[in-house]
Amino acid sequence: MKLFVAAQISRLAGSKKLREQVYAIIRQVQLMLTRASDWEDEHEYTLSQCEVLCSIHVLLRLLSLAFLCHSPHSNLDTNDDMRISVADLTVDWKPEGQIRFMDFAWTRLIGRGWCRSEIRHLLQGFNIATLACYLERPDALRNHSNCTDTTCMAYQIDETNYRTLHVNEDCNCASISVDPTHLRDVLASNQIPKVAVSEDLKLSVVDGKGYTYVAISHVWADGLGNPFQNSIPTCQIRRLLRLITELCRNHNLLRLGRSRIALWIDTLCIPVAPQFKEYRKLAIQLLPRTYSDASAVLVLDRELCNFESRRASILELGIRVVCSGWMKRLWTLQEASIAGAGHGGQGPGSLYIQMADGSARWDRSSRSFHYKPFRAKAPPPKPSALTVTVQEVKADLLYEMHTHVSMEDRLPSVRDIQWPRFETRFQKIMGAVQNRSTSKSEDEPICMASLLGLDLSRILSTEAAEDRMAAFYRLLHEIPTAVIFAHFGMPDFASRNLQMKPFRWAPKSLLLLEDPMVINLALAAQRFANPPWPLHGLCEEDGLHVQHSGFVFSEPGPVTLCNGHVLNDAVCGEYYSLSWPGANPECIGPEMCLALVFQTDFCSDAVIVRIDSQCGEHNDTEYYVTIIGHGTVKARGAIVTEEQISTICGRTTARDQRWCFT
């Protein structure tokens, strides 16, 4: 910007001559950073050399930003053939040093205690990973030895050994409790219990009338929970009172008639005593109201609470928030998504993140943080095409776009989850919970059902995780048929699904899906094929009902399928081959009454099923089936005599054949 201001003073801003000079420098820098050709192997750079190349890359982007400021048109002037894409290092050949630097970055991040899931999924891209290498995170050091490429397990807790922490390690102050019978009384009237704190730190349970209340969203692994009783240390009460008071004052959250402040935190407001188990369930059912009705939802994360954020770049702030422990937990997804429901992310219910230098409001609409009070303003005039382009390219040049998108993806609004524009609700909730974890597997269906606005009482009426997941699928009802192809090529696919009939087709956990993209790709392939049947099945009490084309084997006895087996359609006489990736399993079977259900059409991926029963007759037959494997069917030409001996005959079904997966 200083370059642009200087050009304005000299009256050269926007001139073709100046743009040509800046463009020539950018082009020269761009050529310095890329290989002579794509066939050239990357040099074995040292870390220092990689850092030099990276710094030149940063210079390239800053020069490109200056060049952008001088643009007379939204896409630059097409007549002079100078385009902002010159800043893209892939415009000619592969950039030098990036692959090598990524190796250094991975090693350094792992050595500094970063989680594999953060590096693999949350820090995708060269620019983000290299910057992350130089960030200090002393408050984020945890044991990541049990983490996977998709899930961080470092924030799991064991309630039997849980210890509520004080603000300072050397503090031994007494804990303060709320009376659980008072919680019971408020919950019995279908109201949300809140806690009012007096000046002398006495706690009283109130129903919220006349109070501005702040809901606290926190990570139990940070020590602010208590699985044994509704109490926390006095020092923590004092800290919470200070934080919510400052929040309400700094962001003008106190309203006329609600000058008193109360707080809601699960540790104090959800009964934990065994005799109040039913009221605990009621409190869980009220969680959506709890967060949507709150004047603010305040995020407390140990790492972020110790981070001075106001002087940090948008990129650094975004990386720290996206990689925080709070962002990796399942329950916090619900708390963040419901915050601001119906308010566009502004005003009551907004999400605030506590930093060392104050609380910052996350504005979902503008994808930015704000430290000042929200004030409703008249909508600004519609920006020109040039303004929009400059803002977007500027965010990309400063590496901000990635973190903006990551924050938006990781914190979808409850409206986006319940009414997705392009995806199914199953896909939306599946994507929302990725890279998150919970210490209790039975909590997963509760949280997902709550986000989708489903009837929680149906899920809470059972206790086991499998029973709750089955209830979740029944409530969701419409399931993409791509789900039955999700574990293609995995020999142990059955162990990843529910073990109870009729839900053996369903993933036992959406949190633990190693590659959820497989489901999205399968659904995309189905849409591309444009089949005449619905792309979703209906989950009923007896299984998942779908309509897909298939192939039913006509062999009277047990059939053993081998990799590469030849199939013969007895109706049209065509021959096909059935195969699956890898050598495991070597064979499938022997099984009676086998069939194939195709993903798109006859020559496509397929699930291998056993027909357990059928109902209806002729063209109205519905087969009740169990998945026993996956494979791919391809057309083939004439076969030799030896192959004819091992050929398995069968017939194709109608394209809208009905199946019920159990």
Pair 70, 177 in one domain: no
pLDDT in tens, 449-471: 999 999 999 999 999 999 999 99
Rg (CA), the chain: 29
194-197 and 260-264 beta bridge pairing: antiparallel
502 located within any domain: no
Rounded average pLDDT over 301-308:
94
Say how many C-beta atoms besides its own lie within 10 A of residue 115's C-beta.
26
Pair 219, 299 in one domain: yes
Residue 314 CB burial class (10 angstroms; 0-12, 13-18, ≥19) = middle
pLDDT of 433 above 90 = yes
Least confident of 50-59, 121-130, 152-161: 121-130
590 located within any domain: yes
Which of the two residues, 51 and 389, has the higher pLDDT score? 51
Pair 226, 350 in one domain: yes
472 located within any domain: no
3-state helix, strand, coil in the chain (%, to 5): 40, 20, 40
Share of the chain above pLDDT 70, in %: 83
pLDDT for 75 equals 45
pLDDT of 349 above 70 = no
pLDDT in tens, 546-564: 999 999 999 878 889 988 8
Pair 24, 170 in one domain: no
Q: 243 with 290: CB under 8 angstroms? A: no
pLDDT for 463 equals 94
Least confident of 150-159, 176-185, 291-300, 633-642: 633-642
Closest CA to 177 of 209, 214, 205: 205
d(CA 480, CA 635): 27
Which of the two residues, 347 and 46, has the higher pLDDT score? 46
137 located within any domain: no
Which residue carries 């009237």 as its tokens? Answer: 189
134 located within any domain: no
Pair 202, 274 in one domain: yes
126 located within any domain: no
pTM for the complete prediction?
0.85
Rounded average pLDDT over 385-413:
69
How many distinct structural domains can be found in the chain? 3
Least confident of 38-42, 148-152, 249-253: 38-42
pLDDT in tens, 196-244: 999 899 999 998 778 889 999 999 999 999 999 999 999 999 999 999 9
Q: What's the whole-number average pLDDT of the chain?
A: 84
CA–CA–CA angle 634, 635, 637 (5° rounding): 140
Pair 48, 190 in one domain: no
Pair 169, 89 in one domain: no
Rounded average pLDDT over 101-111:
86
pLDDT of 246 above 50 = yes
475 located within any domain: no
pLDDT for 600 equals 84
Pair 186, 69 in one domain: no
User: Residue 127: CB partners within 8 Å, gap ≥ 6?
Assistant: 399, 402
pLDDT for 62 equals 80
**Domain finish residue from 76, 96, 116:** 96
pLDDT of 491 above 90 = no
pLDDT in tens, 23-56: 888 888 877 877 655 556 667 888 898 888 888 8
Pair 78, 164 in one domain: no
pLDDT for 382 equals 60
Which residue carries 């770049």 as its tokens? Answer: 313
DSSP label at 95? Answer: B
**Domain finish residue from 370, 393, 427:** 370
Domain of 42 in residue numbering reads as 2-96
Q: pLDDT class for 74, splitting at 50, 70, 90?
A: very low
pLDDT for 544 equals 98
411 located within any domain: no
**Domain finish residue from 337, 355, 370:** 370
On the question of a cis peptide bond just before residue 373, with omega within 30 degrees of 0, the verdict is no
Pair 289, 181 in one domain: yes
pLDDT for 499 equals 94
pLDDT in tens, 494-541: 888 999 999 999 999 999 887 777 788 888 877 777 777 788 999 999
d(CA 39, CA 285): 60
Selection from 2-11, 89-98, 620-629 with the highest mean pLDDT: 620-629
Closest CA to 172 of 226, 225, 234: 234
Pair 218, 357 in one domain: yes
pLDDT for 392 equals 62
pLDDT for 370 equals 82
pLDDT for 40 equals 60
Pair 162, 85 in one domain: no
pLDDT for 78 equals 47
